[in-house]
Amino acid sequence: MGQFLDPAAFGLLGLLPVIVVFYILKLKRKQYVVSSTFLWKKSVDDLRVNAPFQKLKQNLLLFLQLLILALAVFALARPFMKLRGFEGQSLILLIDTSASMKATDVEPSRMEAAKQMVIEMVDDMSRGDKMMVITFDVKSATVCSLTTDRGLLRNVIGTLEAKDTRTSIHEALSIAAAAAATQDWPEIVIVSDGRFADLPSDFDTRAKLSFVSVGRRGHNVGIVGLEPRKNIDVGQDYEVFAKVQNSTANDFRGVVEFHVNGQLADAKEVQVPKGERVSVLFDRPGLTDGVVQAKLTEKDDLAVDDEAWIVLAPDRKTTVLLVTTGGNYFIEKVLDKDQTLRHERITPERYESLSAIDREKFDLIVFDGATPSRLPDEGRYLFLDAVPIELGFEVTGEMEGTGILDWSRAHSANRFVSFANLQVNRAQMVKYPKWAEQILEAEGGPLILSIDRGQTRALVTTFDLFESDWPLRLSFPLFVANAMQWLGGRDRLTAGEQVATGDLYSFIPDRGVQAYTLTLPGGDTTTLPVGEERRLLFGAADRVGLYVLSAPEQQDRFFAANLLDANETNSAPRDSFQVGGQTVAGTKEPVEANREVWHWLPAGGLPPGMAEWYIYHRRGFI
C-alpha cells in the first residue's frame, strides 16, 4: 500500500473545507415552536457538561460526508497494492534458459524453480489477462504468443529446458517491447538469475519492468577458457591452457583432469582464491592433434562449465595469398623463410577474378600496395601501404619525415619488436574507424593499425616499405612473423573447430560427400545433407561437448561446443539490474501486479454513505 498511480488526485482534498463551508451554510435550522424552551436549554447545557463528544456526535453527518469525500479522493488517486498475479494485463514473460539456470542451488534446479513460479503466475491469471512467453539464452524464442489460454501456457512452460549457452537478453527484450507496445496494460517480467549484461541505457518501453530473481547463492567453480598454443620450444607440440574461475565464497582447491582422446592424460591440482581465475597448463610431449578435454572433478552447483573440449588439428602450413603488383622482395623473403607458411603471389587483377571459394582456401591475404575493390565479410588481412576503405579507413593526406612516437608493446604483432629509430620518409595520413587500434604511432599519425572485430582481423601499415628503413631492421621480419601468427595462425585454425554453445558452426565439406552424420554429445545423431552450398552450417550446437561429423570413406571430423563464459560460471544470482540508469529490483516471489484497489474504496464508501442516510433519517435515536 501507500503507492498511488495518480497522486495528483489528492489535490481534490481541497474540497474538504468546501464541504465544511457547505455544511455550515446548510445548517440553517428548521424552526420549531415549543411550549417552553427552558427544559431544552437545560438539557443542552447538561449534555455539554456531561458528554465531551457531543459536538462530534452532533456533527456526525459532517464527518461522514468528509469521510466519503476522502475515500473518493483516495480512490481517484488510484492506489494499488502489490498482489500476486495481475489483472486485465498483458504479461510478457522473459524466461532465462541459459546455462546458469541449470544451477542446483535451489531444488531441483533454478530452471524448475522458475517454471514453478511462472506456472503459479499462470494460475493467478484473471479472466482477460494475457500472457506471452519468451525464452532467452544466447538466442531468444517466442515459445507462446499472447494468449489467455492457461492450459496452453502451462503446457508450454512445462516443456521449457535450460540450455548450455551464455545469456543474451537484448533480442528477447526487443521482442517483448514490441509486443508490449500494442497492449493496454503491458508488463514485462524477467524471470532469471540476472546473469546478463545490463540493459542498454536507451532501452525504453512503456511496459512496467519486473524482475523475478531465481537462485539462492553462487557456489560454482568452472572452466572459463581453454586455449591451445604452439610450444615454440618443442616444435609442433601443443600446450593447452585451461582457465579456472572460482565463483564461490571460499578459496578453491581441486583437480583439473586433462583427457586426450578420451584417455586421462594428466591431473593438475589447482588453487583458486575466491573470485579469481587461475590458468592451468597442460603439456605433453607429442601432443600434436586430437581431442583434449579438461574436467573439474569437484562437485558444485553448476555442472555444465566443469568440462570443456578442444579439438587440436594436425599442424598444417598457413596459406598466404600475396597480392602485389610488381612483387615485394622483402616480404617475400620473410614469407619464404617461415616454415609454417606457404604462400602464393598474384596480381590485384587476378585477385579480383578469384571466386569466393578460392579466396577461402587461403588463411590470410597480404595486400602490398593494392586495395581490393571489396573484401569478404570475414577474413584475415595484412595491408602494406594500402588503406582498406572497405574496413572504414580513409586517406586524408600525406605526412613526411615523421618520427616514431610510441608503439603498443602488448599487441601480439609487436612481440619482441622495437620500432625505436625507425625512419619513415613518407606515409599516408588516414582517418580510421574507432575500433581500429594504433599499434605504431608517429608524430603525424598512425603508422600501423590493428583491427580485431568479429571474424575479421587486419593489420594496416600506412607507409611504403621502400620509403622507410624498416625492411633493413630486425623489427621487420619479427613483425611479419608475429603478424602471420596473429592473423592466420593456429588460433584461427582451432577457432574453426570449436564454437561457443549456441553459435553457428560452419565448415567446408570434403569433396564428394553427400551427407554427414553428426553425433551430438549425448549420443544422438542427425544427418546434415550437403546441398549446393559449399559451406555447411550447423546452428544447434547448444550442448556442451564434442560433436563428431562422419561421412563414408572420410576421416571423422570433430568440433567442440563449450560454454567458457565467465558470466555464466559466476552463477551468483543478481538481485537487481540496471536499465536506462534505473535499477529494477528483483523479487523472489512470483510477480505481484499493481492490482488497483480503488474500486474497493467506493465500495468502502458505501457503508458510510448508508450510515449517513440512516443517521439522517434516524437522528434523535442515535
Query: Which of the residues 598 through 617 are near other proteins (CB under 8 A)?
Result: 617
Contact 138, 501 (CB under 8 A): yes
Q: Does 522 bind other proteins (CB under 8 A)?
A: no
C-alpha cell at 133: 512467453
Smallest distance from the beta carbon of 45 to other proteins, in angstroms?
A: 9
- Residue number with CB closer to other proteins (45 or 123): 45
φ and ψ at 269, to 5 degrees?
Answer: -80, 140
- Residue number with CB closer to other proteins (41 or 409): 41
Closest CA to 307 of 233, 222, 250: 222
Smallest distance from the beta carbon of 56 to other proteins, in angstroms?
A: 11
- Residue number with CB closer to other proteins (19 or 530): 19
- Residue number with CB closer to other proteins (1 or 621): 621
CA distance 382 to 460: 6
Query: Which of the residues 51 through 90 are near other proteins (CB under 8 A)?
Result: 51, 54, 57-58
Counting every residue written for the chain, the total comes to: 622
State whether residue 495 is helix, strand or coil. Answer: helix
Amino acid identity, residue 57?
K
| CB proximity list for 331: less than 8 A, separation 6 or greater | 322, 324, 366, 368, 384, 465, 480
Smallest distance from the beta carbon of 48 to other proteins, in angstroms?
A: 10
- Residue number with CB closer to other proteins (46 or 276): 46
CA distance 230 to 528: 33
State whether residue 532 is helix, strand or coil. Answer: coil
Smallest distance from the beta carbon of 34 to other proteins, in angstroms?
A: 5
Q: Does 339 bind other proteins (CB under 8 A)?
A: no
| CB proximity list for 22: less than 8 A, separation 6 or greater | none
- Residue number with CB closer to other proteins (35 or 263): 35
Query: Which of the residues 161 through 180 are near other proteins (CB under 8 A)?
Result: none
Smallest distance from the beta carbon of 22 to other proteins, in angstroms?
A: 14
Site string for other proteins, 26-55 (x = CB under 8 A): -x-xxxxxxxxxxxxxxxx-xx--xx--x-
C-alpha cell at 415: 612481440
Smallest distance from the beta carbon of 620 to other proteins, in angstroms?
A: 4
- Residue number with CB closer to other proteins (56 or 508): 56
Contact 193, 103 (CB under 8 A): yes
Closest CA to 164 of 553, 546, 578: 546
Which range in 22-30, 218-226, 255-263, 323-331 contacts other proteins by CB under 8 A?
22-30
Q: Does 127 bind other proteins (CB under 8 A)?
A: no
- Residue number with CB closer to other proteins (54 or 250): 54
Alpha-helical segments (H) within 159-266: 170-180
Size of the site for other proteins (CB under 8 A): 30
Q: Which of 82, 333, 337, 619 binds other proteins (CB under 8 A)?
A: 619
CA distance 505 to 329: 39
Q: Does 25 bind other proteins (CB under 8 A)?
A: no
Smallest distance from the beta carbon of 617 to other proteins, in angstroms?
A: 8
- Residue number with CB closer to other proteins (57 or 253): 57
Q: Does 373 bind other proteins (CB under 8 A)?
A: no
| CB proximity list for 209: less than 8 A, separation 6 or greater | 187, 188, 190, 579, 584
Q: Does 263 bind other proteins (CB under 8 A)?
A: no
Q: Look up residue 12 and give its DSSP letter.
A: G
Contact 535, 507 (CB under 8 A): yes
State whether residue 77 is helix, strand or coil. Answer: coil
Q: Does 201 bind other proteins (CB under 8 A)?
A: no
Query: Using CB under 8 A as the criterion, which residues of the chain lie in contact with other proteins when the complex forms?
Result: 27, 29-44, 46-47, 50-51, 54, 57-58, 617-622
